[in-house]
Chain A
């Protein structure tokens, strides 16, 4: 009995050891991918810091602030190539847990900056281009619809504050621009059939943003500040 059992225990041991080794390889790769995204997150935070100035800087500087933040974000392009190198073909979604939040934050910053610059909602493919995701060396990466749609709402969440602060610094044009923008976005998102998930919860926050921005426009209208000066 004893010899028989010993060999069986050995086989079991060998099988388990080899699987644990495979697990370690998998986990190491995950760790490497997470680490490769860290410098991108650093840049993303710098872009957000830059955009924060929108709330206090005179509106004559808005253009420069937004251009700066987009320039910072384009510096992530070579870093995305490093991330792409680590992800095996067709396994993007396996590691999306690591890249998704970063892509959403970058989308938020780009959408906010380009709204100020061009009064438009930046389309998903423009964001992919700015991040350098549409080259051959980054083809394994993608900005998923889900991440894009969540990122856009992130930008909208910034707008009520911006609207109020614009009034404080006597910029009476921006709140009207903002209100019309949020209105369009809210109408667009209303077209979607959302499940009870993160995107749905984000969408629910849109309503409050919309209301706060409309309240600002109301306050301005009441005081005759929405009409062009003679």
Chain B
């Protein structure tokens, strides 16, 4: 044991007091710089979260607006509803412009810095973006009875010169389409109540195609989708039940449209009851 070195704090007393005093001063000024950097980042994060939230709110409102009149049998009302929907969609667009403006304040304001910033703050922006894609795709479906292509989504989210305000990834798009199936289920059920018998059948076809394609995506690739697929499956089952009842009655009462309308209404009420019961369970 006697051979073991013992290191005593020899001249540590002087050297470390002066040395560490300098070190402390130096560190304090470095960390003051970090403080301003973190503060600026936090401020930007907060701003983007607020914009993203208002995009979510406005998108939800747009979806409700579309549900209110999209199933109307009067072509006039329906067209007016879609036109108003477009106006509301452009209001949301203004908020995406605000996001771009905010990203443009990063650093010296170059487009590279803005793009860098977009990916940095992507998690703050994406909840609003997802909701917007859902609303936009629903609007597009009502206008065209078809699926909005990714390119059209990106174009809707570009400025006057065609430069993207935010970047829409395939992931954002696919998650948005998955949410769309839920809206279409509601749309199909509403259509039934107004006696529109074509819509549920069309929607059923559409949702089936979407579900089939998404079933091919492995959960490792897009984990969030696998959860949403369960919801899509439930929506599809509801639509299929509606179509089943509808088909039988269409055959049975082919020559009595007024009876059809009444029966359809009853079927709808049944479906609503069941949904409530399953929710209670």
| Cross-chain contact of A192 among B5, B10, B31 (Cβ < 8 A) | B31
How far apart are the CA atoms of A172 and B39 in the complex, in Å? Answer: 40
How far apart are the CA atoms of A91 and B177 in the complex, in Å? Answer: 25
Q: Do A17 and B213 touch across chains, with their CB atoms under 8 A apart?
A: yes
**A26-B171, A191-B28 given as contacts; is B16 within 8 A of A177 (CB)?**
yes
Residue B77 lies at the interface, judged by CB distance under 8 Å to chain A? no
Q: Do A184 and B24 touch across chains, with their CB atoms under 8 A apart?
A: yes
Q: Do A170 and B4 touch across chains, with their CB atoms under 8 A apart?
A: yes
How far apart are the CA atoms of A89 and B119 in the complex, in Å? Answer: 11
How far apart are the CA atoms of A92 and B149 in the complex, in Å? Answer: 27
Q: Do B9 and A228 touch across chains, with their CB atoms under 8 A apart?
A: yes
Q: Do A172 and B213 touch across chains, with their CB atoms under 8 A apart?
A: no
Residue B76 lies at the interface, judged by CB distance under 8 Å to chain A? no
User: How close is A117's CB to chain B, nearest CB, in angstroms?
Assistant: 14
User: How close is B200's CB to chain A, nearest CB, in angstroms?
Assistant: 13
Chain A 186-200 against B: per-residue CB contact (8 Å), 1 yes, 0 no? 011101111100000
User: How close is A199's CB to chain B, nearest CB, in angstroms?
Assistant: 8
Residues of A within 8 A of B213 (CB): 13, 16-17, 20
How far apart are the CA atoms of A121 and B16 in the complex, in Å? Answer: 14
Query: Quick one: which of A4-49 are within 8 Å of B by CB?
Result: 5, 8-9, 11-13, 15-20, 22-24, 26-27
How far apart are the CA atoms of A205 and B13 in the complex, in Å? Answer: 28
Chain A's closest residue to B1 (CB) is A170
Question: Which among A11, A15, A18 has the highest number of chain B CB atoms within 10 Å?
Answer: A15
User: How close is A10's CB to chain B, nearest CB, in angstroms?
Assistant: 9
Q: Do A188 and B210 touch across chains, with their CB atoms under 8 A apart?
A: no
| Cross-chain contact of B10 among A121, A169, A189, A228 (Cβ < 8 A) | A228
Residues of B within 8 A of A188 (CB): 27-28, 30-31
Residues of A within 8 A of B145 (CB): 8
Q: Do B8 and A11 touch across chains, with their CB atoms under 8 A apart?
A: no
| Cross-chain contact of B23 among A5, A121, A193 (Cβ < 8 A) | A121
User: How close is B212's CB to chain A, nearest CB, in angstroms?
Assistant: 9
Residues of B within 8 A of A91 (CB): 115-116, 119
Chain B 163-177 against A: per-residue CB contact (8 Å), 1 yes, 0 no? 000000111011001
User: How close is A71's CB to chain B, nearest CB, in angstroms?
Assistant: 25
Residues of A within 8 A of B115 (CB): 90-91
Residue B6 lies at the interface, judged by CB distance under 8 Å to chain A? yes
| Cross-chain contact of B16 among A24, A145, A180 (Cβ < 8 A) | A180
| Cross-chain contact of A229 among B8, B24, B37, B222 (Cβ < 8 A) | B8
User: How close is A175's CB to chain B, nearest CB, in angstroms?
Assistant: 9
How far apart are the CA atoms of A120 and B150 in the complex, in Å? Answer: 52
Can you offer 25 A-B residue contacts whose CB atoms are under 8 A?
Answer: A8-B146, A15-B149, A17-B213, A18-B150, A20-B213, A23-B221, A24-B221, A26-B170, A92-B116, A92-B119, A93-B116, A123-B30, A169-B4, A170-B5, A171-B6, A171-B7, A173-B7, A176-B12, A184-B20, A188-B31, A189-B31, A191-B28, A191-B31, A193-B35, A193-B42
Q: Sorted from nearest, which 8 A-B pairs have the closest CB atoms?
A: A93-B120, A23-B170, A93-B119, A188-B31, A22-B170, A90-B115, A16-B213, A94-B119
